[in-house]
Amino acid sequence: MGWLSNSQCFSAIDENKVFSQVIKQLKNKDFLNAINNLNQLIQQNPSNSLYWFNQGNAYYMLGNYVAAINAYQHVSNHSNLFLPAKLYTAKSNIQHGEKANAVAILTELKQQSLPPALEDQVKQELSSIYVGEALLAQKNNNYSKAIHFINLSVDIFPTVDALFIQGILLIKLKKYNDAKYALESANNLNSDTETKRKIENFLLILKGLTKQQVFNHNWINLITEMGYNSNYFETTSIPEDKIFSTVSMSTGFQLIKHKRLFSMLTYSFEWKEVFDLPSEQLMSNYIGLPLKYERSKWILTIEPSYIFQFLERVKYLTKPGIALDYVFKFATGWESKTRLSYVTYTPWSSDFDYATGYYKGVNTGIRYINSNYLFEFYYSLFKEKLNNQTLTNGTLPGSYDAFGPFMNIVWLVSPKFNLEGSASLYNKSYTPAVIPRNEWRKDKQLSVHLTPSYYPTPKTQLFIRMNYIKNDSNLESGDIDNRNYDEKILSAGVNWELI
């Protein structure tokens, strides 16, 4: 706020001297003494708009907005201070809680021909009022009203804050493409480094929440990870502690982008090694071709895939498969989802015949998505058929049927930190019967997973994975093998988004 002076407006030298003292007092924030001197000047020269305008400014700075409004209203409409006085009358009304009066004054000013600097101030004030109204409506969960006000704000004066809030509200309304445009527009306007990081992080979070990455653009990701497994050989009765490392890369290239139809070619590679065990060096390659058709209320995705693996750099398994997803949006943020999948296991050579088999399954459930949380709950039915394992003291079945619930939660604690957790409880029945015990093997397996992640930059994720598996089996110590075990896996890694 500037303090205006004009020596040519004084009729007597004492006015000039007193007003010079007023300007010094205002600059030194001595507002009470400045008001006292201005009262003397106004009493001597009540038609001087300069005195009234500065008195209004002094009252404004003291928080006496009623007195400020009264002073600004005495500024003559013939004065060049009239329009600034109207602006500050509106600002005083805002501070006094009279937003309707402020909107009326600002709207009237906006329709006039104003100097560019003053025009921008008027637009900013009006935009700021609408932002406040949008936030109030959002707090009351009235998102249609909130988006109405934030759209008014952006149309009048598109500030970084207004565009950012518009993006958040559009996510609430599940208008993800519009939300992405609003957030990117905010990023383009923004010049503050920290704010830019927050917006870019939120764009990454938006991409992750909506699960649209494989359909929206080309990408390349690189992940490195190292960890500890308390029971690597869960197929034996004697657990062994092992250190392992993993390096993986994934990429995708857009093939089709239509209004409702999307398709991409995806590829990923993973190299996993267990320290001191060269025989456990596993390399996996995955190729997928997801095809998605989207309507306003539902999404249908079909994804044929092909996996080929190498064990100790020797050809190991091929796993051709197909998956079908159906998503139905039945309320704001709420979706139901059903997934059908089928994969066959074919060894490259007879040395790995024990791995021959297939997997087929279905899971169905619901999920809820908003700007801070993703919650999923599914119930699964699946079957995995593998050849039996022949041990020194009998035969262990490799095929089983399973059922049970699965839950997953993602919490976006802040733009730089998120937390993901999941849990499942599956009941497994194996066939055929165990030899020589001649009894069906039955397992109950509890799995709990937790991954906190930190994003030092928008394209870098630091994560820690914690997994706990407890398998409760009727095959106990003294049987052909003991299948009761606890497994703890702890690992840490980095995920870079290269493109």
Query: For residues 412 and 376, which has the higher predicted lDDT (pLDDT)?
Result: 376
Q: Give the pLDDT of residue 196.
A: 73
Q: Give the pLDDT of residue 232.
A: 60
Single out the residue of 406, 340, 336, 337 nearest to residue 377, CA to CA.
406
The average pLDDT across 278-302 equals 87
Task: Give tens-digit pLDDT for 41-72.
Answer: 898 888 899 999 999 999 999 999 999 999 99
Task: Answer whether 493's CB lies under 8 Å from 247's CB.
Answer: no
Which of 149-158, 184-193, 304-313 is predicted with the least confidence, judged by mean pLDDT? 184-193
Alpha-carbon distances of 421 from 226, 367, 380, 451, 493, rounded to whole Å? 19, 14, 18, 6, 17
DSSP string, 90-127: HHHHHHHT-HHHHHHHHHHHHTS---HHHHHHHHHHHH
Q: Give the pLDDT of residue 378.
A: 96
Residue holding tokens 């009235």?
Answer: 142
Across 352-387, b (16+ Cβ under 10 Å) vs e yields beebbbbbebebebebebebeebbbebebebbbbbb
Single out the residue of 497, 492, 495, 496 nearest to residue 225, CA to CA.
492
Q: Give the pLDDT of residue 235.
A: 45
The average pLDDT across 330-334 equals 80
Residue holding tokens 């630091």?
Answer: 462
pLDDT band, residue 16 (cuts 50/70/90): confident
Q: Give the pLDDT of residue 7.
A: 45
Gap between the Cα atoms of 76 and 87, Å rounded: 14
Q: Give the pLDDT of residue 497.
A: 81
Q: Give the pLDDT of residue 198.
A: 72
**To the nearest whole percent, how much of the chain has pLDDT over 90?**
34
Gap between the Cα atoms of 235 and 396, Å rounded: 10
pLDDT band, residue 441 (cuts 50/70/90): confident
Alpha-carbon distances of 354 from 279, 316, 437, rounded to whole Å? 16, 11, 21
The average pLDDT across 344-348 equals 93
pLDDT band, residue 300 (cuts 50/70/90): very high
CB neighbours of residue 322 within 10 Å? 14
pLDDT band, residue 436 (cuts 50/70/90): low
Task: Answer whether 441's CB lies under 8 Å from 475's CB.
Answer: yes
Does residue 74 have a pLDDT over 80? yes
Query: For residues 341 and 276, which has the higher predicted lDDT (pLDDT)?
Result: 341
Instruction: Please count the CA atoms within 13 angstroms of the CA of 314 that sit on its side-chain side.
Output: 11
Average pLDDT, the chain: 84
Which of 36-45, 215-224, 252-261, 285-294 is predicted with the least confidence, judged by mean pLDDT? 215-224
Task: Answer whether 164's CB lies under 8 Å from 154's CB.
Answer: no
Task: Answer whether 267's CB lies under 8 Å from 285's CB.
Answer: yes
Which of 40-44, 147-151, 153-157, 214-218 is predicted with the least confidence, judged by mean pLDDT? 214-218
Which of 66-75, 195-204, 285-294, 420-429 is predicted with the least confidence, judged by mean pLDDT? 195-204
Q: Give the pLDDT of residue 278.
A: 65
HEC sequence for 221-271:
EEEEEEEEECCCCCCCCCCCCEEEEEEEEEEEEEEEECCCEEEEEEEEEEE
pLDDT band, residue 211 (cuts 50/70/90): very low
Gap between the Cα atoms of 59 and 31, Å rounded: 8
Which of 77-86, 163-172, 315-324, 378-387 is predicted with the least confidence, judged by mean pLDDT? 163-172
Which of 113-117, 137-141, 438-442 is predicted with the least confidence, judged by mean pLDDT? 438-442
Does residue 209 have a pLDDT over 70? no
Task: Give tens-digit pLDDT for 383-407.
Answer: 999 888 776 667 778 889 999 999 9
* DSSP 8-state code for residue 477: T
Q: Give the pLDDT of residue 216.
A: 47
Gap between the Cα atoms of 56 and 251, Å rounded: 63
Domains identified in the chain and CATH numbers: 7-112 (1.25.40.10), 208-497 (2.40.160.40)
Gap between the Cα atoms of 269 and 287, Å rounded: 9
Task: Give tens-digit pLDDT for 219-258.
Answer: 688 889 888 887 765 444 456 678 888 999 998 888 887 7
Gap between the Cα atoms of 308 and 225, Å rounded: 21
Residue holding tokens 């049927």?
Answer: 401
Q: Give the pLDDT of residue 477.
A: 67
**3-class SS of residue 144:** helix
The average pLDDT across 26-54 equals 90
Show Cβ contacts of residue 478 under 8 Å, excluding neighbours closer than 6 positions. none
